[in-house]
Amino acid sequence: MTVFGSNSRTKKRRLCQKPGCWIFCGLLLFLFIAIAHVVTLVDSFTEEALILKDLYHEIESAVVEETPSFTLETLDEKKDTDKKQTSSKEQNDRNRSESLGVETLKQKDSDVNNSNSNKKVSSHSAISGVGTAGEQGSEVEKTSATKPDSYREEHNVFRKLEERVSSVIDECRSMKEKSTQDVKKLKKDFDTGVPPLPEHGLHDAIKGWFENNANNNNNNKRDYPVCQLPPSSSCNVTSYSVIIMSHTVTDQERLRKMILGMQNLAGLPNTSEIILVWNGEKEALTTSSDNLVKKLLMWENDSSHPVRIFYALENSLENNLLNRYHPSVQPSEEAVLYFDDDGPFLNEDAIDAGFKLWQLNSDTQIGSMPRNIRFTSERMKSLQLDATALAVELFKENAMQVYKNPYGMDENIKYPKFTPICSNATGDSVEYNFFVFPPFQAHMALPSGTFLHKNFLCFIWHPIFEKLRQYILDHPTHPDDMLVSTIVSHLSGRIIRTFPRRIKKKKTRALRKISERIAPHYNKGAKTDSSPNIAIVGGERIHDISRKLLWQHPDWAKMREEAINSIFNYFGSITPGSVGWCVGSPYQQKGGVRDKISFMCDPEFPSMDMIPWMNEDNTMHNCGKV
């Protein structure tokens, strides 16, 4: 054992004494040192990368929250020129918001759009809120500061409205200072005793709202929900909710018409639901022995039937015509079609034409029974003519057929302006024209046969318009139709659109021209309408064709005129006026001197193939490509 061990140690000493042994050991040591350096270098790079990543996250958060704590210039090693330009633009936006003291999303959106006009998506994608893949992948671009449709946000809608009223106030003040004549005060032939709304009072209403809710755009932090304008087109919406309002079962003729109208509407393929807004006591229905009422309740209890009843009083609402526009009604569809309980109820072809037009223009009111407001001031008459001519011209050039809201349009496109009304400064007043249903230059629409996007319900009952709603409740005519048309047009900035309330079948007798038909006449100041069952909303109605447009109260028209003047004065301006269904088509003709309307549609009641946006088989041309 001793000898063996001795020989082994001797052998190992001989191996270690070889020259190659030291070289091998040196190389091995060098390799270990190199590996250690590489590990250290990687750790260093990883730590710097993490720091850089954290810094980018902090900057991104600062941009979204609009705090000036970080800017992209903080990165000393930043080399991307495009990113530097983006950083500068975002910083300028934040500085501008700070200087104003209020976050102005729309202004920032405008800045972004102007500086990136070459990167804009198609008009339909922008309106629908659908961006490109790059936009969907960027958290910063998902904020309201860069959304192409940020004009739809409640904050920006009311700011734009405030700007319009402020501009009118300045214009009226300027006209008063330049005038050398005494102002003729508005002569009132009839006084209901209801105090008029303050001239341009909407300005103070909006200002007061912002003082209390300037930064409160969170649904969880306020009593009333945050509203949003609808998109300019809704081509993907394929059905609508119908809303009808009533309050009594004692009028058998009215009840019969309503039940018959509901029955016909329930059979239409695009009718999703029929909501009866009941303004009376619930027991008036549930305890009634009337067979028509029993039929109505049977429909409601049938889960397969589209009828449902909304009991307004049970939902803490009072008897109010505006209840049909209350958000708590909660229509299931974006498109809402309104009818009075006694009609007139449109036929399927007319409803189809109106619904298709609404799909193309879902951010404004679409009406089949439009009303015109006549101006007494030469200045206002001239502005109305200019606005109508511009609207028709734009439509022919297809500028209005891209279905963009004017607030989201290129500034180079001149959209028709609202007409200022300056009662105190110049004595401006308007006349309510209840003689005709003009397709052109209409400033409001009666509720029956009217389409609205359900997003407008939130605005109609918004606290800003509380004084207006109270005026409607107090006034003896309860002119909810005037209020709704005015609110919608001022919110969207768009003209209302009209469609024919009757569609002729192509195989029927040849249509007579308007000049060949017997014109409606007025017996001692009133005119008749050529279509059956025409209703005058807000008061006494025609019940059949044999009845003329006569109201029970002899001063009904004067009371309505008082109401429309008060409402327009409160807003300070009037919508430019509608364009008819025939605009840009061969059926657009010059208007008659008698009616004082620039254009008319001839024939008044067309066949489906005459309507520009419709095909003969009741289908619609490609949305946005009319």
**pLDDT tens across 556-601, in order?**
888 999 999 999 999 999 999 999 999 989 999 998 766 678 899 9
Closest CA to 358 of 380, 336, 339: 336
Closest CA to 209 of 222, 196, 199: 222
Q: What pLDDT, on the 0 to 100 scale, is given for residue 38?
A: 59
Name the percent of the chain lying above pLDDT 70.
Answer: 62
Lowest mean pLDDT among 308-317, 325-334, 412-421, 526-535: 526-535
Q: What span, in angstroms and rounded, lies between the C-alpha atoms of 62 and 115?
A: 21
Closest CA to 365 of 485, 461, 483: 485
What is the average pLDDT across 165-187? 76
More confident residue, 282 or 116: 282
Mean pLDDT, rounded, of the chain: 75
Residue 233 · residue 124 · CB < 8 Å: yes
Closest CA to 148 of 176, 103, 173, 111: 111
Q: What pLDDT, on the 0 to 100 scale, is given for residue 391?
A: 87
Residue 499 main-chain phi, psi, to 5 deg? -140, 155
More confident residue, 108 or 47: 47
Q: What pLDDT, on the 0 to 100 scale, is given for residue 76?
A: 38
Lowest mean pLDDT among 281-285, 332-336, 539-543: 539-543
What is the average pLDDT across 172-197? 74
Asked if omega into 603 is within 30° of 0 (cis), the reply is yes
Closest CA to 610 of 589, 587, 592, 593: 587
| Helix (H) or strand (E) segment spanning residue 295 | helix 291-301
Q: What pLDDT, on the 0 to 100 scale, is given for residue 624?
A: 53
At residue 518, does pLDDT exceed 60? no
Instruction: Give 107's pLDDT tier (boundaries 50, 70, 90).
Output: very low
Instruction: Give 434's pLDDT tier (boundaries 50, 70, 90).
Output: confident
Residue 569 · residue 199 · CB < 8 Å: yes
| Helix (H) or strand (E) segment spanning residue 599 | strand 599-601
Q: What pLDDT, on the 0 to 100 scale, is given for residue 151?
A: 83
Q: What pLDDT, on the 0 to 100 scale, is given for residue 324?
A: 98
Q: What span, in angstroms and rounded, lies between the C-alpha atoms of 159 and 201?
A: 15
Q: What pLDDT, on the 0 to 100 scale, is given for residue 380?
A: 94
Residue 281 · residue 287 · CB < 8 Å: no
Residue 625 · residue 368 · CB < 8 Å: no
Residues 537-562 as b/e (b if ≥16 CB within 10 A, e otherwise) read: bbbebbbeeeeebbbeeeebbbbbbb
Instruction: Give 109's pLDDT tier (boundaries 50, 70, 90).
Output: very low
Sign of CA dihedral 464, 465, 468, 472: negative
At residue 14, does pLDDT exceed 70? no
More confident residue, 10 or 622: 622
Kindly report the pTM of this predicted structure.
0.70
**What residue type is 227 in one-letter code?**
C
What is the average pLDDT across 265-270? 97
Closest CA to 320 of 500, 469, 143, 126: 469
Q: Number of H helices and number of E strands within the chain?
A: 18, 14
At residue 272, does pLDDT exceed 70? yes
**What residue type is 207 in one-letter code?**
K
Q: What span, in angstroms and rounded, lies between the C-alpha atoms of 616 and 610?
A: 8
| Helix (H) or strand (E) segment spanning residue 19 | helix 19-65
Q: For the segment 531-555, what is each residue's pLDDT rounded down to a tens digit? A: 333 333 333 333 332 223 335 667 8
What is the average pLDDT across 383-401? 79
Annotated domain spans of the chain: 55-148
**What residue type is 132 in one-letter code?**
T
